[in-house]
Amino acid sequence: MTDLDIRVLDDAHYRAAHTLFRGTLHNGPANDERWEQVRPSYEPGRTFGAFADDELVGTVQSFPSRLAVPGGAVVPMAAVSRVGVRADWTRRGALTALQRAQLRAFRESGEVAATLRASEGVIYERFGYGVASRFREVRVKRASARPRLPIRGRVRLVSPEAALPVVRSLFERLSRGRAGGIARWPGWWHTNVVMDQAEANRKYAVASGPDGDDGYVIYKVTPGSFESGNEKPTLLEVLDLWASPRAWSDLWAFLFGIDLVGEVLAEGRPVDEPLEWLPVDRRAVRVTDEMDETWLRLVDVEAALSVRTYRSEGSVVIGVRDRFLPENEGAYLITPSGASRTSSSPDFVVDVDVLGAAYLGDVSFGALAMAGRFAADSPEALVRADALFAVDQVPWCGTYF
């Protein structure tokens, strides 16, 4: 097999990397106009390429972000995206080499964690990523979804040209504090709002109350068909919704009240969102899917464990294995007052992907041990660990990239 050369890419290779990535998703290259829109999202030093005989055969990229952890602290994080290996080079070590180089770069730059959204569910655990949050898909029969609460404030439509500063400011204020949330980098807003403003039927609504604006929703409408024998309901898709509790009910009541809509679809919503309790007829709301959201990789285990908060009493010592970043390996003492390295023997040992899955509090160590993800000789140690890592609110990110 030809030896692979892993390089940090520059502007001369960005378009080739983007074309390669799109090809792995079975899409053609971006045209010139689209590429000029996408090009600014490639930041210097954050894209790697795998070369065989000077030919690009794989690529991986990341965006600079921040991750909110239990207790409210925020840590530097890399948002990994545009991962792809050319079809004739898969299963030959290219992705492993790229991941190894990327993780090492994250560690050296001081990024505490990395997250990604996996196209397939069997790829990334071997690189240390664990599923740390989930989301659900909800469908609503609009005609049956009469809300219990009327709109108590005001909901107004905002023009696409004026939307970006309004929704960006609201997101940055409203998304703070929930574990799993991430900061949206400038390229995210450019790609997901600015570039999409020309899309037909994309709408922006802002909710306000006594203290001003406190929520927004971005949605689009796909017209249906009213032709006899070929009826198809008009679909309203909720793309992004962040709000205070009061504005949340106002925005959903607004969406349920839009005429000539047969169904409301909301993907990527938190699993604890009480949407089915909002309409008089709760059967108008159906949860149609639940999926993994955040795949979390702890790049600096000691820093990650020391910055989040813990609950309960007692302590536990957790051993960590990490074959890509061996400096993470060792034993860590977890107490209600914090976490630190220790020379004590661990109560149980986990791979770094298992620790990442449990880190935000969405799944317990007890559940992971029951599923065979690691061996634990002491059930009592699992109880102590689960009590320490417990959270009041399930983690949720709410940002797709």
What does the pLDDT look like over 250-297, one tens digit per residue?
999 999 999 999 999 999 999 999 999 999 999 999 999 999 999 999
Instruction: Outline where 63-114 has alpha helix (H).
Output: 94-109
**What residues does 351 pair with on adjacent strands?**
321
Separation of CA 187 from chain center? 16
CA 94/CA 49 separation, integer angstroms: 9
- Length of the chain equals 401
Q: What one-letter code names the amino acid at 170?
A: L
153/227: higher pLDDT: 153
Reported confidence tier of residue 225, pLDDT bands at 50, 70, 90: confident
pLDDT of residue 200: 67
Closest by Cα among 347, 398, 355 to 125: 355
Residue 23, helix vs strand vs coil: helix
Q: Has residue 1 got a pLDDT over 60?
A: no
Render pLDDT for 55-71 as a digit per residue (tens, 0 to 9): 999 999 999 999 999 99
Domains 4-111 and 136-292 share a fold: yes
In CATH, what number does 300-389 get?
3.30.1050.10
Could you tell me if 219 and 193 are in contact, meaning their C-beta atoms sit under 8 angstroms apart?
no
Q: Residue 327: CB partners within 8 Å, gap ≥ 6?
A: 107
pLDDT of residue 198: 64
Residues that are catalytic: 124, 401
Measure Cα distances from 87 to 23, 84, 90, 92 in Å.
9, 9, 6, 10
Q: Which CATH number fits domain 136-292: 1.10.3720.10, 3.40.630.30, 2.60.40.2130, 2.40.128.90?
A: 3.40.630.30
Q: What is the mean pLDDT of the chain?
A: 95
Q: Give the domain ranges of the chain.
A: 4-111, 136-292, 300-389
Reported confidence tier of residue 196, pLDDT bands at 50, 70, 90: confident
Q: What one-letter code names the amino acid at 144?
A: S
- The CATH H-level (homologous superfamily) assignment of domain 4-111 is Gcn5-related N-acetyltransferase (GNAT) (3.40.630.30)
Rg (CA), the chain: 23
What average pLDDT score do residues 373-395 get?
Answer: 97
pTM beyond 0.75: yes
Phi, psi of 196 (to 5 degrees): -95, 0
pLDDT of residue 2: 60
**Torsion-angle region of 58 (φ positive above 0: left; ψ -120 to 50: alpha; else: beta):** beta
What does the block give as tokens for 96? 């492993």
What does the block give as tokens for 217? 């929703």
Render pLDDT for 346-381 as a digit per residue (tens, 0 to 9): 999 999 999 999 999 999 999 999 999 999 999 999
